[in-house]
């Protein structure tokens, strides 16, 4: 009996020692982790200061270079060389691992509304690039559906539904559009927070499209009698959506190749997304660029036409719902915004090319 008690006491003593050792190891681990976090924080702050200092130095040097060049105090070829070196240094800082130490862009109220006050900026470049690749994949998938969905509705309207669209398929399509544009807006805001250069207008364009899709869900789709006149606006919108799907498929291909070229030349960051480019590069894009430009111009015109037709159907009292007026106004607004943004892009490119020609012609004049 005494032997059994002695063994139990020894076992209890060993268990106590084991628990004490585990508790001590946990305490040491906590101290080591706290020390590591403190060192990492201090090192991170130092790297942030260096990154901000170098970024400010690059901007200062670029400003000085432009000032000296405008007063013709430096050779144009040397200025070009120095500008290229500054651009490469800018890409190294803003497109490499050091980019995570630069000040982050504001995430905006849209992300806070959907996701709350969380930080969506990835600290590692490979994670940021995965976010971008997922965005490209999402655009590829939705571009195909953007073409197929309205095409199927229009084909079924002619073959199966005797020229009169039922309400449910149209509302299902409008619900999908709401999901599509919300997903695009969320992804684009996250990309901007991670250093992408997506133009603010395209995000605002998707905000307008989200609102239009939401309003159109409350739009009563009327049938017979006089179905063709009542659904004229819906038919025009579906035709415009088909054109938009074709444009998105071509743009996705063009933008991907164009962006790879710009990254290879050091003129773009790996997180950049090229929207609505109309300038081409040598080789395989000579055919695609004119097609894209013509298609973009047609889309702008047709988008405005659909919006005006919706307003017209409301004013001549064919369809009198407020949703028709609202959607028509939004389509016209988006068409005008797209046109102004395209013109701004073309003017910026033409000014840049004119500046490069002047810089290159100065040595010949001298």
What gap in Å lies between CA 361 and CA 352, rounded to an integer?
Answer: 14
The predicted pLDDT at position 263 comes to 58
* Entry field: residues in the chain: 366
Residue where the block lists tokens 């490469």: 88
- The pLDDT value recorded for residue 293 is 63
Buried b or exposed e, range 177-213, using 16+ CB within 10 angstroms: bbebbbbbbbbbbbbbbbbbebbebbbebbeebbebb
Tokens of 100: 């995570």
pLDDT by 10-residue block (mean), the chain, 366 residues: 65 82 90 87 82 85 83 79 82 71 72 81 75 83 85 86 81 90 90 80 88 84 66 77 77 64 56 46 44 66 80 71 82 86 72 58 50
pLDDT at 248: 76
**Taken in order 145, 209, 305, 297, is the CA torsion positive or negative?**
negative
CA distance linking residue 169 with residue 187, whole number of Å: 27
- H/E element, 362: helix 322-365
Which tokens is 352 given? Answer: 């840049």
Quote the pLDDT of residue 179: 92
**CB-CB neighbours of 4 under 10 Å:** 8
Alpha carbons 356 and 362: distance in angstroms, whole number: 10
Whether pTM exceeds 0.95: no
């Amino acid at each position: 009996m005494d032997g059994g008690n002695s063994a139990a006491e020894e076992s209890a003593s060993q268990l106590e020692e084991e628990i004490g050792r585990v508790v001590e190891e946990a305490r040491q681990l906590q101290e080591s982790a706290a020390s590591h976090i403190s060192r990492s924080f201090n090192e991170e702050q130092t790297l942030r200061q260096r990154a901000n200092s170098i970024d400010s130095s690059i901007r200062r040097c670029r400003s000085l270079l432009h000032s000296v060049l405008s007063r013709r105090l430096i050779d144009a070829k040397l200025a070009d060389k120095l500008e290229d070196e500054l651009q490469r240094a800018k890409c190294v800082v803003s497109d490499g691992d050091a980019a995570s130490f630069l000040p982050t862009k504001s995430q905006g109220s849209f992300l806070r509304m959907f996701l709350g006050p969380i930080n969506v900026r990835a600290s590692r470049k490979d994670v940021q690039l995965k976010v971008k690749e997922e965005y490209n994949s999402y655009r590829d998938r939705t571009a195909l559906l953007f073409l197929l969905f309205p095409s199927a509705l229009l084909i079924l309207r002619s073959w199966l539904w005797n020229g009169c669209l039922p309400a449910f398929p149209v509302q299902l399509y409008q619900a999908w559009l709401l999901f599509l544009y919300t997903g695009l807006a969320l992804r684009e805001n996250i990309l901007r927070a991670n250093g992408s250069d997506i133009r603010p207008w395209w995000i605002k364009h998707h905000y307008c499209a989200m609102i239009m899709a939401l309003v159109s869900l409350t739009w009563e789709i009327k049938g017979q009698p006089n179905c063709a006149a009542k659904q004229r606006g819906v038919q025009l919108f579906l035709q415009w959506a088909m054109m938009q799907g074709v444009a998105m498929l071509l743009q996705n291909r063009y933008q991907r190749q164009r962006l790879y070229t710009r990254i290879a030349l050091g003129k773009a960051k790996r997180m950049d997304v090229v929207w609505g480019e109309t300038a081409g590069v040598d080789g395989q894009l000579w055919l695609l660029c004119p097609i894209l430009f013509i298609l973009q111009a047609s889309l702008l015109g047709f988008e405005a036409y659909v919006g005006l037709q919706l307003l017209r159907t409301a004013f001549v009292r064919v369809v009198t719902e407020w949703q028709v007026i609202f959607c028509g106004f939004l389509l016209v607004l988006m068409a005008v915004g797209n046109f102004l943004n395209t013109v701004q892009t073309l003017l910026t490119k033409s000014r840049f090319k004119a500046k490069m020609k002047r810089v290159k012609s100065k040595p010949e004049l001298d």
